[in-house]
A and B are shown apart, each in its own frame.
Chain A
Amino acid sequence: MKPISDMTLGELAAYACTHLKSKGINVVLSGGACVSIYTTNRYQSFDLDFIENIASGRKKIKEVLQEIGFSEEHRYFKHPETEFFIEFPPGPLSIGDEPVMETVTKEFSTGQLRLISPTDCVKDRLAAYYHWNDRQSLDQALLVAESNDIDLKEVERWSAKEGRSREFSAVRELFVKKQKSE
């Protein structure tokens, strides 16, 4: 096994995800770490947001992560050999007020990683753009669209459900261009 100090974000996420699963804790990676993975680190995140739909409890998670060298510091789990850290935001796994129905599994040399799909990753970033008016989140969504197939009809449907049709219309062409340049 590769030492933790040499693992990329994706490799570490897969390693932790696989270890957690082996102990009955099923998690899905969400948030900025997925942007890193889908853009091969053109956007670099350091926090791994794992979401669990049915909570196992902090105590159990702490014990399981201790087995692979992570210790709890405030609300995060850190490892002495890496800058990346793990967080467990409260569930459910959702984008806006909709549950995430399908996830993606990616293989790494360190294990299997379950994460949200590129389309859901774009929706997740757009949610931040819509609600916080955060331009960086829009840029991250566009980066993901540049190197992954995105279901723009689905993004459009979801944006309308969020009451953000006008906002999506304003940026739709940017996504179409990124998909063409893929």
Chain B
Amino acid sequence: MLESLLGSINRERVLLFLHARNEGYAREIARFFKTDLDPIQKQLERLEFGNVIYSRNAGKTRVYSLSPRYPFLAELKALLDKALSFYSAEEREGLVMVRQRPRRKGKPL
């Protein structure tokens, strides 16, 4: 959808995912879009170098988010919101709905 503007389908995927879920890691994003890990990692690195996103370590995982210090953050979010509005309800729900509440280790259900 934004591929021609952003120059890469994987850059679009990364930005949409991080906007919709607030954060994400490379394998999670690749798995969600059923794509290879390598191009997702490359886009994460490029966007981080451009200060569009930032990362932090959570255990052994590098977790990324949109950077609150990016000067065009509000405009970028508006663009991504518009793009998300073109997704079907099912697609949007798949991207946005993720369990956030804690789950005790070892719980059977």
Q: Which residues of A contact B (CB under 8 A)?
A: 75, 89-90, 92, 94, 96-99, 127-128, 131
Contact assessment for A97 and B51 in the assembled complex, using a CB-CB cutoff below 8 Å:
no
Contact assessment for A94 and B71 in the assembled complex, using a CB-CB cutoff below 8 Å:
yes
CB distance from B54 to the nearest CB of A (A): 8
CB distance from A116 to the nearest CB of B (A): 14
* B residues in contact with A92, CB < 8 Å: 71
Counting from the closest, the 10 A-B pairs by CB-CB distance are A94-B71, A131-B68, A97-B71, A90-B50, A131-B69, A127-B69, A90-B51, A92-B71, A89-B51, A97-B74
Alpha-carbon separation in the docked complex, A38 to B71 (Å): 24
Sample (10) of A-B pairs whose CB atoms are under 8 Å apart: A75-B49, A90-B49, A90-B51, A92-B71, A94-B71, A96-B69, A97-B72, A97-B73, A97-B74, A98-B71
Q: Which residues of B contact A (CB under 8 A)?
A: 49-51, 68-69, 71-74
Alpha-carbon separation in the docked complex, A94 to B75 (Å): 15
Alpha-carbon separation in the docked complex, A92 to B74 (Å): 15
* A residues in contact with B69, CB < 8 Å: 96, 127-128, 131
- Which of A96, A128, A131 is close to B71, meaning CB atoms less than 8 Å apart? A96
Excluding A94-B71, A131-B69, 10 further A-B contacts by CB distance (< 8 Å) are A89-B51, A90-B49, A90-B51, A92-B71, A96-B69, A96-B71, A97-B71, A97-B74, A98-B71, A131-B68
* A residues in contact with B68, CB < 8 Å: 131
* B residues in contact with A99, CB < 8 Å: 71
* B residues in contact with A131, CB < 8 Å: 68-69
Q: Which residue of B lies closest to A89 (CB)?
A: B51
Alpha-carbon separation in the docked complex, A53 to B68 (Å): 20
Q: Which residue of B lies closest to A99 (CB)?
A: B71
CB distance from A161 to the nearest CB of B (A): 11
CB distance from B15 to the nearest CB of A (A): 16
Alpha-carbon separation in the docked complex, A128 to B68 (Å): 10
